Amino acid sequence: MKVPMPIRLQRPLDRREACLTGALALLTAVAFFAPDLVGRVSAGLHYADTRPLAGLPNAMDVLSNLPFLVLGILGLRRLHGLESDHERAAAALRAPDELPVNALDCAWLFFAGLVLVAVGSAFYHLQPDALRLAADRAGMAVVFAGVIGMAVCERVSPRAGWPAAWFALAAGLLAVAVFHESGNETPWAVVQLGGMAVVLTLALVRPTPWAGRAMGLKLGWIIAFYALAKLFELADAALFQATHQLVSGHSLKHLAAALAALPVLQALQGLGRHALLHNLRAAAVAA
């Protein structure tokens, strides 16, 4: 007689996961039912620094996207190297898998998003209009999804990070579509500001107690660079005049936003050092 296999039930939502679910549901309701924000985009398409360079229009606002590209590629290379090194070490030493896989998946999304932002934002600033702005924001949605996923892995639970990232990505792309079709910016405002509010809240709670190593990501620095970027954005013309038309606030915004990748790179570097130390100890035991 064949004995049926026991059914393995998923662990129910814990308190942190339930709170996160409630917060995302609340933000979704706000995006759907809050009053429309329209008319702001047309005013936002005018930037202080419109100087061309060698035939390149709006040169500083275009070229200031290069840090996104550089840091995005650097992060993708570091992720690939970290995972490749760990796989080789695990195969040779039979070391246990200690990498925070879910958080690293979200990091892949984050750095890929930085590359997309570099392309989309440069494309937009060459000739700012509403259609190109939608392309710019689509790349930003990928970055936000990666940040939220990493934050959730660190401070809620590893299993919740990837679903949260996909939820944020779907919400971001839907908000971009709504903006493109109707001009309503409310969903995008909820994705951007609400998403960062979630990350800020998670930065104030202790890291997840679940087994397995975390990235050790310093969320406070990500929030700080994001806030600095928003301040530069608001002071676009004022900074352009204050620097005697050397650099505008919007160009500095791109730099500050790109620097939010540094805490993630630092966390990956820390994981690499830990893996090296672990493998050396494993090799000594094997010998």
pLDDT tens digit sequence for 58-96: 999 999 999 999 999 999 999 999 888 777 766 665 555
Confidence of residue 131 (pLDDT cuts 50, 70, 90): confident
- Under a CB-based contact definition with an 8 Å cutoff, are residues 106 and 158 in contact? no
Per-residue pLDDT band for 100 (boundaries 50, 70, 90) equals: confident
Domain 59-286 has CATH 1.10.3430: no
Q: What is the mean pLDDT of residues 153-170?
A: 94
Give pLDDT, residue 175. 96
Encode burial over 99-111: b for 16+ CB neighbours within 10 A, e otherwise. Answer: bbebbbbbbbbbb
Are the C-beta atoms of residues 208 and 157 closer than 8 Å to each other? yes
Measured CA to CA, the distance from residue 249 to residue 5 in angstroms comes to 63
What pLDDT does 45 receive?
67
**pLDDT at residue number 9:** 47
Residues in the chain: 287
Produce one character per residue of 194-212: b if its CB has 16 or more CB atoms within 10 Å, e if not: bbbebbbebbeeeebeeee
Tens of pLDDT, residue by residue over 2-22, are 444 444 446 788 889 999 999
SS3 assignment, position 243: coil
Q: From CA 96, how far away is CA 86, in angstroms rounded?
A: 10
Banded pLDDT at 279 (limits 50, 70, 90): very low
Write down the mean pLDDT value for the chain. 86
Asked whether the predicted pLDDT for residue 283 surpasses 50, the reply is: no
Q: In the prediction, which pLDDT does 92 show? A: 60
Spatial CA neighbour of 150 closest among 244, 14, 265: 265
**Which pLDDT score is estimated for 7?**
44
Residue 97 in contact with residue 139, Cβ under 8 Å? no
| Residue 151: HSE in the Cβ half-sphere, 13 Å Cα cutoff | 26
Instruction: Indicate the pLDDT class of residue 287, thresholds 50, 70 and 90.
Output: very low
Average of per-residue pLDDT across 252-273: 92
pLDDT, residue 40, reads 52
Judged by average pLDDT, the poorest of 36-40, 88-92, 217-221, 275-279 is: 275-279
For a pLDDT cut of 70, what percent of the chain falls above it?
A: 83
**pTM, rounded to two decimals:** 0.88
Nearest CA to 147 out of 127, 117, 182 is that of 117
Q: Does position 151 have pLDDT exceeding 90, yes or no?
A: yes
